[in-house]
Amino acid sequence: MADRKPKRQTKPEYGGGPKRSEKKDLDQARRSATKTPAKHKRRAAATLLLEDPDFPQHVIDHVHRQGAVGEYNVILMVYLTATTRLFPRPLNLCVYGPSSCGKSFVTQRVLEMFPPDEVITATQMTKKYLLNQLEEDSDRFKHRVLFIAEFIDPELGVAFREMATTGRVRNLTVRDNQATEYTAEGPTAFITTTTQKLEDINAEDLSRMSCFPVDDSSTQTEAVIRRIRRKYMPKRKKSKTNPAKSVRRAIPSRVWHQCQIQLGRARNTKINVPFADLIQLPNHDPTVRRAFERILQIVEAVTFVCQFRKGRRFETDSNERRVVYADELDWKYARPLIAVELNHVFGLPSQQVVEFANSVVNLEGTEHTIPELVKKLKTPETTVRRRIKQLPDSWKNRRLVPGRGQAFHINPDSLDVAQGLPTVEDVKEFLNRNGGGLA
């Protein structure tokens, strides 16, 4: 058999460098190695956002970019309530108002800023569904936000009160002729919206939650209509010679989710309110006991979301736990929310009614009839009559004026719904006098 010639071997390329295809792969690997991963970018963006002194204002601005108009207090309160799911005892919130006022829309836009697995949303919920969820997973509601669009099931109200008070729901029942116990571990932040009047809701439920009304004024309706009209109008082209002011880009939802992740890692942070003694409330009603704790929880929530702010005062306790002290910047955002809370606790009128009373007081003269108010305030007569009816009797005086009809006089001394609350300057002066409240 003839000898076969050996196959020609390929000469190795020593020192000749990589082939073209290999060089392309190396360049691609080098670019991917120097490129910052998306999660690192989100983390850096969330850190910068949390360090901003106006972080609560960024929350409001983001929801406005999503289509909401006004409702500053409602937006911020929903965000704070949902964030307190990380607390041992979270806040609970009821947003109420007439139909088509945007209660659910605003609440849902805010909850979109939270990781989807942290929020449980339902139009309605029954106690039977709750028990079925407990049978599958007892930690289903632990450190979660439970948003129910309409809170109408009385049996669910019992479970809600137990969760708000003890931090868990314990149910004893019989399944297959055997005694069975189901326990839902909390804490759970509860948020609901309703068109019912507050007097039609169970008083025990109301005493365990903050109640914030939506703005149903004609001014708010006009602003919403302008926003809807702008949505359907063609966008104007920017002039090259006179360009419009640059608009800040909307912050992506994933960055807001990352903010909550970083706040969750700091859930063990202890919040101190050194100016708590400055907050004085009437003590003639036992409901003030729970209300006062909710007021301090609102300050705690604002301080918690702003704990990474630059220049923040903090310490480390003996257990290596971070201790943050609330200051005047936190009180700046908490005070308007507390004023709304006081309106609910003491039966004071809503902020819209207070604004109507202030506008009447600022008019020339001391007494005004309804036709005069309609003309001077440029407000529909039905709205004027409704606002006057909503005013407390101690705020208004009425008498029959010859030739003019029934005239109203509003006492300007009764319009301060936040009486007893210190101002931002009071808190700043107190902290400067006491070394910032540091222990």
Q: What does the pLDDT look like over 221-238, one tens digit per residue?
A: 888 888 888 888 877 665
pLDDT category, 298, cuts 50, 70, 90? Answer: very high
Asked if residue 251 has pLDDT above 90, the reply is no
Distance (Å, rounded) from C-alpha 43 to C-alpha 30? 23
Q: Please state the rounded mean pLDDT for residues 194-200.
A: 76
- Position with higher pLDDT, 131 vs 3: 131
pLDDT category, 71, cuts 50, 70, 90? Answer: confident
What's the confidence (pLDDT) of residue 76?
A: 93
Give the distance, in angstroms, between the CA of residue 225 and the centroid of all CA atoms in the same chain.
24
Distance (Å, rounded) from C-alpha 259 to C-alpha 249? 18
* Length of the chain in terms of residues written: 439
Q: Please state the rounded mean pLDDT for residues 378-402.
A: 73
Asked if residue 38 has pLDDT above 50, the reply is yes
Distance (Å, rounded) from C-alpha 46 to C-alpha 253? 11
pLDDT tens, position by position, 412-423: 655 555 556 788
Complete domains list, the chain, with CATH? 44-224 (3.40.50.300), 268-348+424-437 (no CATH), 351-414 (1.10.10.10)
Asked if residue 137 has pLDDT above 80, the reply is no
Distance (Å, rounded) from C-alpha 73 to C-alpha 420? 20
Say which DSSP state 116 is in.
Answer: G
Contacts of 68 (CB under 8 A, 6+ apart): 75, 102, 105, 106, 109
Q: Which amino acid is at 260?
A: Q
What's the confidence (pLDDT) of residue 420?
A: 64
- Position with higher pLDDT, 2 vs 101: 101
Asked if residue 313 has pLDDT above 60, the reply is yes
Distance (Å, rounded) from C-alpha 299 to C-alpha 80? 10
- Position with higher pLDDT, 334 vs 286: 334
E-strand stretches of 249-307: 270-272
Give the CA diameter of the chain: 137
Distance (Å, rounded) from C-alpha 265 to C-alpha 46? 13
Q: Please state the rounded mean pLDDT for residues 29-55.
A: 74
What's the confidence (pLDDT) of residue 380?
A: 82
Asked if residue 126 has pLDDT above 80, the reply is no
List the strands of the sheet with 92-96, edge to edge: 119-122, 144-148, 188-194, 92-96, 210-213
